[in-house]
Structure 1
Amino acid sequence: MTVLSTPPPAGPAATWLRPWHTRTAAALAALAVSAAVAVAAVATSSPATAQPGAVVVSENFDAGSLPAGWNAVDGAWRVENGRLYGTSASSSANNKITFGRHLNDFRFEATMRFETVSAATRWASLGIDVPADGATPWWIATMRSGTTASNGLEFAQRTTANAWVVTNTASAPYAAGTGRDVRVAVEVNGNQARWIFDGREAMRTTSLQRSTDGVQALFVNGATVSYDDVTITELSPNGYLRPQGSPLTVVAHRGASAAAPENTLVAQEIARRGGADWIENDVQPSKDGIPFILHDGTVDRTTDGTGNIRDLTAAQIKALDAGSWFGPQYVGERVPTLAEQLADLRTRGGNLLLEIKGKHSRDEVATIIQVIRDERMMSRVFVQSFEVDALRYTYELAPELPLGLLRSSLDADPVAVAKDLHLTAYNPDGNALLARPEVVAELHTAGVAVMAWTVDSAGLWQRLERIGTDGVITNRAAELVGWNAAFMQRPPAELTVEITSPAAGAHLDRAQAPVIAVAATNAETVTVTLDGRPSAVGRELDLAKLTAGRHTLSVEATGPAGTATTTSTFTVTVSQAGLGYLILTSGADEAALNTMTVKLAHGQYAQLAGWVDRQAGASVPAEIAGVIAADARTLALR
């Protein structure tokens, strides 16, 4: 449950007291006016999270025309009734409108509705990396009107040869059809992206090929589609933080090591085909300084040879059989060089979580980085190590590479260590992490992801997911991919919302200053109105400006499970103490204050009301004079 309110002052207390001004209380006491005790405004604040910053585009099309900077490259685009309409009469016409600016890390959201389609296979897309003039190549996240098809959702590239490269497909839980609003989003971090359909992640990719100047776009093919509430928000550059509701990132430990000989290209291929997001492998140098993919310090366990890897030349290592120990079908598999592994990933797809194994000199780390550069894989490699020096060398030589620190047990202060080492992720033993689950939230607050190793149990996967772990390094990558698929089929968690302050039915004195607080579960947006007018969670209610009597707070929360609403009423009461508060905080001049407080102290309410009416806008500010007079007349009738 999330309790939404303004944050409390610094300190350990989860609640705070907001008394009315002490000078006001003292003055009323001096006048012997019975003052009501101000009720505390109690709320809790959820911890800060590593949330992104600027909203780059926010467009609802209410202006009635195409927004400035939106370029209708081809096709018919128009704005009507607060929506943007795009029409493509032909399945061969990929009509588009470009806008925005180049961003490496962003969330692209829109409400999409198929108005008409020529066939259920026709589609609309969010363009996630598109030249401003609409030329190829470009990348899109596509939704068909027949969204439940196996390719109802896609990540795809249109190449310079005008050919399609579809990298990922998925089906949605229901068909978009026609006439139905669907809220969709894509979260992009470099070459990675997540496709989010009505609040639920449907698939992800690690295969984007990003440009240096592509912007955003909307596409329509063989249909008329309307768009509304288009929003582009810049994200934190750490795309390894798992959004709420998304499944665990799957990291295949030494490739598909449960199904093939570890740290080989065949293990990498099986892991890739099984749906792993990342391949995790180990790198060490040969005697002649060539980085090879091998876990142990010797070749004894995983090849038909013997000896320390650092005592063997590259030619000697390449002559070894690295597969027959695992099974006869793998006879002849070789120990790959780092360059060979990266070339395979570059051409066939996938990203590498590369562990620098054991002690490495700065020159040896520099060689590893040079190989990564030469293979054009700097944007698709994540370096981790138990060795702090290796991470420091990596940061000095290539600060753009993300870094992860491997730990068998947790540091006393993982956040401080992460800051010192410039970590993108803190990667502890899974059981050690489960013993101190609060560390996950602390690291997330600092913008650091958490990937646990090496976890092969579905029960532990569930526990790690519940504490917010971002990724799991596992020998059973294909099983975890399947577990994730089942995780994504869960019904949306129940959406609830409750107004916690002011309390329902509360009778509040003018001197009180309650804060609007809302408790919501599984909500993405919360909208508040007071007596039908917009308000906000965390806003302090100024009861001096409200009329006496009942007032209604209404709250609407939206989330993956739909919409939930609630209302609550409170009453602003009239009292001698409250009227004294109004007078002393009215901003009236000193002579007027003296006159009003004397009449108040003697209970001359009718005279006070008449006097204030005459002074409204003169010695007493007009906006408060009416409230003082109204309260005084109410007291005169009692």
Structure 2
Amino acid sequence: MIISRIGPTSARRRAVAGLATLVVAGGLLTALGGATPAGAEPGDVAVAENFDSGTLPAGWRAVDGDWKVVDGRLVGTATSGTRKITFGRHLEHFRFSATVRFDKVNEATRWTALGLDVPASGATPWWIATMRSGSTAANGLEFAQLTPAGAWNVTNATAAPYAAGTGRDVKLAIEVHGNQARWFLDGRQLMRTSSLQRSTDGGQALVVNGATVSFDDVRVTELAPNGLLRPDGAPLTVIAHRGASAAAPENTLAAQEVARRAGSDWIENDVQPSKDGVPFVLHDGTVDRTTDGTGAIRNLTSAQLKALDAGSWFAPHFVGARLPTLAEQLADLRNRGGNLLLEIKGAHTRDEVARIVEVIRAERMTTRVFVQSFDVETLRHTRALAPELPLGLLRGTLDADPVALAKELGLAAYNPSDAALVAHPSVVADLHAAGVAVMVWTVDSATAWQRLEGYGVDGIITNRPAELAGWNAAQLQGGLGRPTVTVSSPADGARLDRAQRPVLGVVTGNADAVTVTLDGEPATPGRVLDPTRLAAGAHTIRVEATGPGGRTTVTTTFTVVADPTGLAHLVLASEAAAGARHAMLNLLADGRYDQLAAYAEQQAGKQVPTAVAAVIAADARSLADR
């Protein structure tokens, strides 16, 4: 087992060299390229179509427009208006990917889309993720709904870093978790939404508008429910601490609005009960610091709390801001958009937790609330009362075994302080392996964000959500030098026979550490791959590069094929006894593949080395079955 890692590289060396070359295979320098699309670990594959059959797949319904399979691609034409083909089934958590090419467009504003929640009949309402051929426009990429009235509700839009144009394959992927979705273009997340309104039966679709578009490699894969885990190619999740508390009075609807407009993925707020049991949004145990009143929140009635000024302490123009109840906060998020990371502050009784759960359910926000607490018993109460709510454990210091505790409590996330994580950053990988996200609090500097990005954390709780969102955008545009990775050899999709001897070639840039695996086992770039030691079939190369600009992961595949020429090479290179080699070559020449397989197995460990005999037998049987 060999692992390849590159140690730290000085900033001056990076500036001079411009890139770090891990290996240049066979003396051939391969140009740096972008990452292939990355996603979550695959689960059950609901749809996998490459259209090699030459006909529309069974269960695919061309609702309108001209849809046909041509040269191994699905081609959809809409000379005018919007046309679609539906397929698949309803899924709450899934990744939908496809290779897409505009073949002809009426104009650059015309578009294609992946349908995320579309009835099989094509009836409205339905949700799509669109891409224009002129994708560099401000609305080049969109999340949008076609309403029952036939009107478009565009909830999110952004510009792509380059134009899709015509005649160019681009790889699109959308990861959906309930009402949330992430948009990936050629492996880079460019947009996220939390505004999807899901049906109970809508499936997937492909849509074209004023264009002819061809599709290949359409794949829909179920994902685990934990949408808090950050996929490869995605930026850090932005969590606004007490709202945008550096720009507005904390834990108010004003701070929530600023955080929402700043591009926050989650609003983090605190909840505690009033004297009469109404859950209010407040951090401190008393109202003294952030209002014009005094006293413990648990000693004040809801009427007394609503009379307090919660804004003037921060700035004059926030005079009159009120403490929101949890119900008011949730209603604002439901109506104006956003998700809530709700900290249940301090110890709560089961009845107090039950009241919080009651409010969340009454406001129809169970799919958009994530509960965290420092108090373990509070989390146990929440899990017992509302198993549908994801849970996070806040920690100022790391537990002896965070993974074991996460499993015991059924956590979706383990949320340590920055100072706690610095001492043991390897715990991030351990938690990820257990399917648990890591959200770090409370971090406001770009230097720390960069370090935490290197650790691979999923999200950051910050008082400065606008700055973190901007920092993320700079990374996605390459401003901070995200590592680049190219697997130069074997090429992605290559088919190798047993006689070939390719060098494992990997080229990286802006990387301090690089890990390479072949079929999950550590591998060393620059070394010759020996197909005589590999099983026939597909093999996967995975490269993960980490540097000051973040992390990039690339996955490619090649296939070892069984054919007579390669099998002859395998026999000749087998180190079998001369007589055995001669016998096997004669059987091969006569096309007696079944007898060759039987002979190899009979002589395994005798005249033919055991491992090689198994490969020879497998290839021979594969040829016999053709």
TM-score (norm 2): 0.78
Query: Are 2:151 and 1:153 equivalent residues in the alignment?
Result: no
Contact kept in structure 1, 2:266 and 2:340, CA below 8 Å: yes
SS at the partner of 1:258? coil
CA offset at residue 3 of structure 1?
6.3
Matches within 5 A, 1:24-35: none
Query: Are 2:554 and 1:524 equivalent residues in the alignment?
Result: yes
CA offset at residue 115 of structure 1?
1.2
Supply the distance in 2 between the matched residues of 1:221 and 1:505 (Cα, whole angstroms).
48
Amino acid at match of 1:67: P
Specify which of 240, 246, 258 is matched with residue 252 of structure 1: 240
Query: Are 2:82 and 1:82 equivalent residues in the alignment?
Result: no
Amino acid at match of 1:524: V
CA offset at residue 67 of structure 1?
0.6
Percent identical? 64
Contact kept in structure 1, 2:571 and 2:585, CA below 8 Å: no
SS at the partner of 1:260? coil
CA offset at residue 481 of structure 1?
0.5
Contact kept in structure 2, 1:502 and 1:514, CA below 8 Å: no
CA offset at residue 89 of structure 1?
1.7
Matches within 5 A, 1:482-497: 482-490=470-478, 493-497=483-487
Say which is worse superposed, 498-507 or 173-182, in terms of deviation: 498-507
Q: How has the CA–CA distance of structure 1 residues 621 and 201 changed in structure 2, closer, same or farther, with 3 Å as cutoff?
A: same
Amino acid at match of 2:404: A
Specify which of 196, 201, 217 is matched with residue 184 of structure 2: 196
Instruction: Indicate the residue corresponding to 2:447 in structure 1.
Output: 459
Specify which of 62, 65, 80 is matched with residue 55 of structure 2: 65
Matches within 5 A, 1:368-387: 368-387=356-375
SS at the partner of 1:114? strand
Supply the distance in 1 between the matched residues of 2:108 and 2:584 (Cα, whole angstroms).
73
Specify which of 284, 290, 294 is matched with residue 278 of structure 2: 290
Instruction: Indicate the residue corresponding to 2:45 in structure 1.
Output: 55
Q: How has the CA–CA distance of structure 1 residues 305 and 115 changed in structure 2, closer, same or farther, with 3 Å as cutoff?
A: same
Q: How has the CA–CA distance of structure 1 residues 610 and 451 changed in structure 2, closer, same or farther, with 3 Å as cutoff?
A: closer
Contact kept in structure 2, 1:3 and 1:520, CA below 8 Å: no
CA offset at residue 213 of structure 1?
0.9
Query: Are 2:198 and 1:216 equivalent residues in the alignment?
Result: no
Instruction: Indicate the residue corresponding to 2:613 in structure 1.
Output: none
Amino acid at match of 1:528: F
Query: Are 2:312 and 1:321 equivalent residues in the alignment?
Result: no
Instruction: Indicate the residue corresponding to 2:422 in structure 1.
Output: 434
Contact kept in structure 1, 2:540 and 2:555, CA below 8 Å: no
Contact kept in structure 2, 1:57 and 1:233, CA below 8 Å: yes
Query: Are 2:327 and 1:302 equivalent residues in the alignment?
Result: no
Supply the distance in 2 between the matched residues of 1:323 and 1:505 (Cα, whole angstroms).
67
Contact kept in structure 1, 2:128 and 2:144, CA below 8 Å: yes
Supply the distance in 2 between the matched residues of 1:424 and 1:122 (Cα, whole angstroms).
40
Query: Are 2:219 and 1:231 equivalent residues in the alignment?
Result: yes
Q: How has the CA–CA distance of structure 1 residues 256 and 85 changed in structure 2, closer, same or farther, with 3 Å as cutoff?
A: same
Contact kept in structure 2, 1:501 and 1:517, CA below 8 Å: no
Q: Which structure has the bigger radius of gyration?
A: 1
Contact kept in structure 1, 2:100 and 2:171, CA below 8 Å: yes
Instruction: Indicate the residue corresponding to 2:492 in structure 1.
Output: none
SS at the partner of 1:238? coil
Amino acid at match of 2:171: R
Matches within 5 A, 1:31-42: none
Supply the distance in 2 between the matched residues of 1:174 and 1:517 (Cα, whole angstroms).
29
Instruction: Indicate the residue corresponding to 1:401 in structure 2.
Output: 389
Instruction: Indicate the residue corresponding to 2:23 in structure 1.
Output: none
CA offset at residue 503 of structure 1?
8.6
SS at the partner of 2:484? coil
SS at the partner of 1:208? coil
CA offset at residue 459 of structure 1?
0.7
Q: Output one character per residue of 1:546-599: Cα deviation in whole Å (capped at 9) or x when no partner.
A: 4455xxxxxxxxxxxxxxxxxxxxxx265xxx318x85xx9xxxxxxxxxxxxx
Instruction: Indicate the residue corresponding to 2:327 in structure 1.
Output: 339
CA offset at residue 617 of structure 1?
11
Q: How has the CA–CA distance of structure 1 residues 523 and 461 changed in structure 2, closer, same or farther, with 3 Å as cutoff?
A: closer
Q: How has the CA–CA distance of structure 1 residues 547 and 436 changed in structure 2, closer, same or farther, with 3 Å as cutoff?
A: closer
CA offset at residue 524 of structure 1?
3.5
Supply the distance in 1 between the matched residues of 2:461 and 2:584 (Cα, whole angstroms).
77
Q: How has the CA–CA distance of structure 1 residues 337 and 609 changed in structure 2, closer, same or farther, with 3 Å as cutoff?
A: closer
Supply the distance in 2 between the matched residues of 1:75 and 1:211 (Cα, whole angstroms).
24
Instruction: Indicate the residue corresponding to 1:562 in structure 2.
Output: none
CA offset at residue 514 of structure 1?
10
Contact kept in structure 2, 1:3 and 1:517, CA below 8 Å: no
Instruction: Indicate the residue corresponding to 2:406 in structure 1.
Output: 418
Contact kept in structure 1, 2:3 and 2:524, CA below 8 Å: no
Specify which of 248, 267, 272 is matched with residue 279 of structure 1: 267
Instruction: Indicate the residue corresponding to 2:84 in structure 1.
Output: 96
Instruction: Indicate the residue corresponding to 2:458 in structure 1.
Output: 470
Contact kept in structure 2, 1:423 and 1:448, CA below 8 Å: yes
CA offset at residue 513 of structure 1?
8.6
Q: Over the residues paired in the alignment, what is the CA RMSD in angstroms?
A: 3.2
CA offset at residue 461 of structure 1?
0.5
Contact kept in structure 2, 1:501 and 1:514, CA below 8 Å: no
Amino acid at match of 1:373: R
Contact kept in structure 2, 1:50 and 1:444, CA below 8 Å: no
Supply the distance in 2 between the matched residues of 1:62 and 1:611 (Cα, whole angstroms).
35
Contact kept in structure 2, 1:545 and 1:624, CA below 8 Å: no
Matches within 5 A, 1:534-553: 546-547=569-570
Supply the distance in 1 between the matched residues of 2:348 and 2:530 (Cα, whole angstroms).
70
Q: Could you tell me which runs of 5 or more consecutive residues in structure 1 were left unpaired when the two chains were aligned.
A: 5-48, 536-542, 550-571, 587-607, 633-638
Specify which of 161, 165, 169 is matched with residue 173 of structure 1: 161
Contact kept in structure 2, 1:353 and 1:381, CA below 8 Å: yes
Supply the distance in 1 between the matched residues of 2:321 and 2:528 (Cα, whole angstroms).
75
Q: How has the CA–CA distance of structure 1 residues 514 and 194 changed in structure 2, closer, same or farther, with 3 Å as cutoff?
A: closer
SS at the partner of 1:74? coil
CA offset at residue 304 of structure 1?
0.2
Contact kept in structure 1, 2:541 and 2:555, CA below 8 Å: no
SS at the partner of 2:123? coil
Specify which of 119, 130, 133 is matched with residue 142 of structure 1: 130
Contact kept in structure 2, 1:501 and 1:518, CA below 8 Å: no
Query: Are 2:346 and 1:358 equivalent residues in the alignment?
Result: yes
Amino acid at match of 2:317: Q
CA offset at residue 609 of structure 1?
6.2
Contact kept in structure 1, 2:238 and 2:462, CA below 8 Å: yes
Supply the distance in 1 between the matched residues of 2:363 and 2:553 (Cα, whole angstroms).
44
Q: How has the CA–CA distance of structure 1 residues 545 and 54 changed in structure 2, closer, same or farther, with 3 Å as cutoff?
A: farther
Contact kept in structure 1, 2:270 and 2:342, CA below 8 Å: yes
Q: How has the CA–CA distance of structure 1 residues 612 and 249 changed in structure 2, closer, same or farther, with 3 Å as cutoff?
A: closer
Q: Output one character per residue of 1:205-255: Cα deviation in whole Å (capped at 9) or x when no partner.
A: 111111111100000111111111101111111111101121100000000
Supply the distance in 2 between the matched residues of 1:482 and 1:464 (Cα, whole angstroms).
16
